[in-house]
C-alpha cells in the first residue's frame, strides 16, 4: 500500500506545550446547490456557490505533549463531548491527519464551543475541521500552501476545502474543486447580504438526503453565473431570484416541518427562501439589517432563528 505523503519541515514546529490560539469557525450557506449527477465513486457531482456567514463555533487549540483530545460545549453551557464522539468528529479527524501529514511531534488540546446547529446543513462540523486545519497550520508555524491544506481537508469531508479557503467560492466536483469569487481583486463594494437562518430542531442525515435525490431539470451554468454576479454587485434582489437547491424537493417532501419553517420565513417577508445544504436549516434573504430584525420579530420565539450576514470576502 502506498504510504500517505508527508508535508512540511520538522524545524517549523518548535512550539512550547501550552501555547494556545483561538479560531472562529464560520458556518456556511449554499446560495446555489446543483446536483449534476451520480459519480462512479458513489458521490454526486456538484456545482455550488458557498458563502460563510457570521455565525461561528469558537475553537481553542493548544499544543500538548500528550495525545490529541477534544472537548465540546454548547451555547446552553452543556458539555456535549459525548454527543460528538472523537471517531465521528470531523475536527478530530482533521487534527489526526494534520499530525500524520506534517509529522507533528506534539498533540493538540482542542476545545469547540458550538453555536452552529448540528446536522443543520450549515457546515458546522466541516467548519470546525477547517478551523483545526488552518489553526494547527498557524499554531505550529507550518505555513503550508493553501492548496495543500484544502487537499487535506477534502480527505475529511466534501465541504471542508471550501471552508479552508474561506470567503465566497464556487465549489465543484464532489467538493474538492474550489474557485474563490474574489481572486481577481473585484472585491471593492462587496458588502454581503443579510439573512435569517432558522432551524426547526430536527437533524438531516446528508447521505440519506442524497439517496432520496432524483435528477431534475438543470439550467446549465446560468444558475451559478447569476448568483456570482449578484454577490459581486451586492444585489440582494437578484440573489433572491437566483437561489437554487437541488436537494430541496427531496427534503421538503420527506420532512414537512422543514418546508413549514421555510413557509414561515416567506410569510415573515423574506425576499427569497431556500434550504441550506442538505437541511435541516433554511434561510431567508432580507434587504438589510433592519428588515432582518423585522422578519425575526415575526417568527415564533420557540423557533431557533438568528440574523446573520454573509462574509464573501476573505
Q: Is 212 a catalytic residue?
A: no
Can the peptide bond before residue 280 be classed as cis, meaning omega within 30 degrees of 0?
Answer: yes
Q: How many residues bind ligand C5P (CB under 6 A)?
A: 11
Query: Which of 267, 266, 167, 225 has its CA nearest to residue 32?
Result: 225
Query: Residues with Cβ < 8 Å from 286, sequence gap 6 or more?
Result: 193, 194, 195, 196, 236, 269, 270, 271, 292, 295, 307
Task: From 40-48, 76-84, 106-114, 251-259, give the range in contact with ligand C5P by CB under 6 A.
Answer: 40-48
Backbone CA torsion sign across 235, 35, 145, 23 = positive
Query: Strand, coil or helix: what is 37?
Result: strand
Query: Which of 55, 53, 48 has its CA nearest to residue 30?
Result: 48
Nearer to ligand C5P, 7 or 210 (CB): 210
Q: Is 2 a catalytic residue?
A: no
Establish if 148 lies at the interface with ligand C5P (CB under 6 A): no
Query: Which of 175, 193, 149 has its CA nearest to residue 307?
Result: 193
Nearer to ligand C5P, 177 or 241 (CB): 177
Q: What CA–CA distance (Å, rounded) separates 72 from 208?
A: 26
Establish if 182 lies at the interface with ligand C5P (CB under 6 A): no
Please give the angle made by the CA atoms of 132, 135 and 137, to the nearest 5 degrees: 110
Binds ligand C5P by CB under 6 A, chosen from 37, 40, 185, 207: 207
Q: How far is the CB of 89 from ligand C5P (least distance, A)?
A: 12
Of the candidates 2, 28, 114, 184, the residue annotated as catalytic is 28
Establish if 161 lies at the interface with ligand C5P (CB under 6 A): no
Q: What CA–CA distance (Å, rounded) separates 45 from 65?
A: 41
Of the candidates 114, 159, 235, 288, the residue annotated as catalytic is 159
Q: What CA–CA distance (Å, rounded) separates 265 from 267?
A: 5
Binds ligand C5P by CB under 6 A, chosen from 157, 161, 166, 277: 157
Task: From 72-80, 205-213, 243-251, 256-264, give the range in contact with ligand C5P by CB under 6 A.
Answer: 205-213
* Residue environment code for 35-71, b if the CB has 16+ CB neighbours within 10 A, otherwise e: beeeeeeeebebbbbbbbbbbbbbbebbbbeeebebe
Binds ligand C5P by CB under 6 A, chosen from 210, 254, 287, 303: 210
Task: From 98-106, 110-118, 155-163, 303-311, give the range in contact with ligand C5P by CB under 6 A.
Answer: 155-163
Binds ligand C5P by CB under 6 A, chosen from 54, 58, 73, 206: 206
Establish if 159 lies at the interface with ligand C5P (CB under 6 A): yes
Q: What CA–CA distance (Å, rounded) separates 136 from 120?
A: 26
Binds ligand C5P by CB under 6 A, chosen from 96, 115, 174, 187: 174
Q: What CA–CA distance (Å, rounded) separates 271 from 275?
A: 14
Q: How far is the CB of 67 from ligand C5P (least distance, A)?
A: 24
Task: From 18-26, 101-109, 206-214, 242-250, give the range in contact with ligand C5P by CB under 6 A.
Answer: 206-214
Establish if 46 lies at the interface with ligand C5P (CB under 6 A): yes
Q: How far is the CB of 247 from ligand C5P (least distance, A)?
A: 10
Binding site for ligand C5P (CB under 6 A): 43-44, 46, 157-159, 174-175, 206-207, 210
Catalytically active residues are: 28, 159
Amino acid at each position: 500500500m502506498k504510504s500517505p505523503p508527508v508535508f512540511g519541515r520538522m524545524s517549523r514546529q518548535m512550539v512550547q506545550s501550552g501555547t494556545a490560539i483561538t479560531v472562529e469557525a464560520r458556518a456556511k450557506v449554499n446560495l446555489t446547490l446543483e446536483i449534476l449527477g451520480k459519480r462512479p465513486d458513489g458521490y454526486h457531482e456538484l456545482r455550488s456557490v458557498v458563502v460563510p456567514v457570521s455565525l461561528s463555533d469558537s475553537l481553542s487549540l493548544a499544543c500538548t505533549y500528550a495525545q490529541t483530545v477534544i472537548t465540546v460545549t454548547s451555547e446552553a453551557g452543556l458539555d456535549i463531548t459525548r454527543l460528538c464522539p472523537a471517531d465521528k468528529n470531523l475536527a478530530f479527524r482533521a487534527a489526526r491527519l494534520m499530525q500524520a501529514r506534517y509529522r507533528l511531534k506534539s498533540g493538540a488540546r482542542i476545545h469547540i464551543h458550538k453555536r452552529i446547529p448540528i446536522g443543520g446543513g450549515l457546515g458546522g462540523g466541516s467548519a470546525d475541521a477547517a478551523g483545526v486545519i488552518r489553526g494547527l497550520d498557524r499554531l505550529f508555524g507550518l505555513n503550508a500552501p493553501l492548496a495543500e491544506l484544502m487537499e487535506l481537508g477534502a480527505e475529511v469531508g466534501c465541504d471542508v476545502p471550501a471552508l479552508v479557503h474561506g470567503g465566497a467560492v464556487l465549489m465543484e466536483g464532489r467538493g474538492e474543486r474550489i474557485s474563490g469569487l474574489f481572486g481577481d481583486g473585484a472585491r471593492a463594494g462587496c458588502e454581503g447580504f443579510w439573512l435569517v437562518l432558522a432551524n426547526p430542531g430536527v437533524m438531516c442525515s446528508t447521505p440519506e438526503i442524497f439517496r432520496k435525490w432524483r435528477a431534475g431539470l438543470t439550467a446549465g451554468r446560468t444558475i451559478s453565473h447569476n448568483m456570482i454576479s449578484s454577490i459581486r454587485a451586492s444585489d440582494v434582489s437578484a440573489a433572491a431570484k437566483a437561489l437554487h437547491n437541488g436537494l430541496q424537493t427531496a427534503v421538503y417532501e420527506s420532512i414537512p416541518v422543514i418546508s413549514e419553517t421555510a413557509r414561515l420565513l416567506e410569510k415573515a417577508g423574506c425576499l427569497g427562501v431556500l434550504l441550506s445544504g442538505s437541511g435541516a436549516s433554511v434561510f431567508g434573504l432580507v434587504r438589510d439589517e433592519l428588515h432582518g430584525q423585522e422578519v425575526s420579530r415575526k417568527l415564533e420565539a420557540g423557533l431557533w432563528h438568528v440574523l446573520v450576514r454573509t462574509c464573501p470576502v476573505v
